[in-house]
A = this chain, B = another copy of it.
Amino acid sequence: MSITRPIGFRAAATTAGIKPSGKSDLALIVCDPAPPAGGGASAGGGAPIVSRHSAAAVFTRNAVVGAPVEIGREWRANSMRGKAGLRAILVNAGCSNAATGEPGVEDARTTMRAVAEHLRCGPDEVMPSSTGVIGHRLPVDKITAAVPGLVKALARGEEADEAAAQAIMTTDLAPKSAHRELEMHGHVVHLGAIAKGSGMIAPRLDAAGPQATMLAFVTTDAAISTRALQHAIEDASRESFDRISVDAHPSCSDTLLVLASGGAPIRTIHEGDPEFFVFRAALTSICQELATKVVRDGEGVTRTFRVEVRGAADSASAERMARAVVDSPLVKCAIHGKDPNWGRIVTAAGNAGVRFDPSEASLSIGGVEVYRAGVPTGVGKTDQKLIAAMNADPVECVLSVGYGQGRAWMLGCDLSAEYVKINAEYTT
């Protein structure tokens, strides 16, 4: 189980007819109202039920964003001011509702109202999320027609989780899900998550929004303040989705969203609490698992590789170098061909526009040093350990530039003829 493993969540998926393939394309994830912890002022009495829900999100940094991201950014601003809750996420694949202007925003709002009506919540408590081709209007009628059945089908369990993970796929070959359990004060807290890739993947998420194609949804029954959850998801995304690149092209819809039900009988976590760090570590870990799965299932990918840059002036410089390496088509082709072409790796880093003195640099692949102080070490393509390193997945590259404390890593993938085939034949 994944997203419905935490207490308080149900999910469902269906075929609304958005994907030309006829595969399932619409998923709904719902966080049900939970009684306050300790069974406090719950039933009867007319006292308001204190909600322990919270939600947080990061979106693409692309200047061009889909309608759902516009809505999501607005929601987040309200949420951070304590003026918005979140009950449900309605995700469709097959149409990204991006580059659709104001009518696209209206389309999304129509679907939000349809869900709200059947869930008996406010329309603003429903988050739309879309992935697929850009520039086409959302088939609103198909979606609103599917909503009643979707709400009726809401359920917990493996089947619902799998169905949701399947429905949000586009060019993904496999559904992606993960879960974590952690203990807090003797109680079990669950985290579940689903995600999709697999092209236009280089999410650079920030507290202001990604688009089309990396979507990830995390559920948890932890009780955590909105502010703490927002900071936890920003930190987690920086160490996971921000660290991957399939094709260096951040989408206009990249979204990472986390919903907390507060269903676990624990005290609400606030920033600075010891529990915050435990929760954030689990959140980071589940995001890393999904990010890795997204790269492995990237379009045409046969092998992944990790580049760690050490000793840069600062982590931003290290990241620029690592990103330049994983995004170099020449390096990606070399990884595809299992060619330990350190020259391409070093020159890619040399293009990052940050201080880099080759005479102080060294590069190892799978623990085999192939380049040191500006020259090759002489370990050749016939070295057995190097051959094994190039056949590993991920191939592990460590570039030490030797003058500072800045470090960063990126997880990338090879470039194959299959990637070209997929993307030359993809349709607008």
A residues lining the B interface (CB < 8 Å): 61-64, 98-101, 103-104, 133-136, 199-200, 211-212, 247-252, 327-330, 333-334, 336-337, 339-344, 346-351, 355-359, 371, 373-376, 381, 415-417, 419-428
Whether A334 contacts B212 by the Cβ 8 Å rule is no
A342 touches B135 (CB 8 A): yes
- Given B247, B330, B373, which contacts A101 in the complex, CB threshold below 8 Å? B373
Minimum CB–CB distance for A310 against chain B, Å: 17
Contacts of A134 in B (CB 8 A): 343-344, 346-347
* A136 CA / B381 CA spacing, docked (Å): 13
Chain copies in the assembled complex? 2
Q: Which residues of B sit under 8 angstroms from A200, Cβ to Cβ?
A: 330, 344, 347
Q: Are A339 and B247 closer than 8 Å at their CB atoms? A: no
On whether A428 and B340 interact (CB within 8 A), knowing A135-B375, A357-B63, A359-B101, the answer reads: yes
Minimum-distance CB pairs A-B, first 10: A134-B343, A337-B424, A333-B423, A64-B350, A417-B417, A63-B350, A63-B356, A101-B375, A135-B376, A62-B350
Residues on B with C-beta less than 8 A from A422 are: 333
- The 8 Å CB contact of A62, one of B336, B351, B416, is B351
Which residues of the partner chain B approach A344 to less than 8 Å between Cβ atoms? Answer: 134, 200, 249
**Could you tell me if A343 and B423 are in contact, using CB atoms closer than 8 angstroms?**
no
Interface contact A329-B247, CB-CB below 8 Å: yes
Of the candidates A341, A349, A420, A422, the one having the most CB atoms from chain B within 10 angstroms of its own CB is: A420
Contact indicator B381/A350 (Cβ below 8 Å): no
A63 touches B330 (CB 8 A): no
Q: Is the CB of A98 within 8 A of B343?
A: yes
Shortest beta-carbon distance from A244 to chain B in Å: 15
Name the contact of A374 in the complex, choosing from B101, B351, B415 (C-beta under 8 A): B101
6 extra interface residue pairs, beta carbon distance < 8 Å, beyond A63-B350, A329-B423 = A98-B347, A329-B329, A336-B420, A339-B427, A341-B426, A417-B417
Docked complex Cα distance between A380 and B113 (Å): 31
Residues of B contacting A328 with CB < 8 Å?
247-249
Decide: A249 near B329, CB < 8 A? Known: A99-B358, A358-B64: yes
Shortest Cβ distance from residue A89 to the other chain B in the assembled complex, whole angstroms: 23
Contact of A341 among B327, B419, B428 (CB under 8 A): B428
Query: CB < 8 Å: which of B135, B211, B252 contacts A371?
Result: B135
State the CA gap A99–B200 with chains docked (Å).
34
A-B contact pairs, 10 of them (CB 8 A): A62-B350, A64-B346, A135-B371, A250-B347, A334-B424, A334-B426, A337-B424, A339-B428, A417-B420, A420-B420
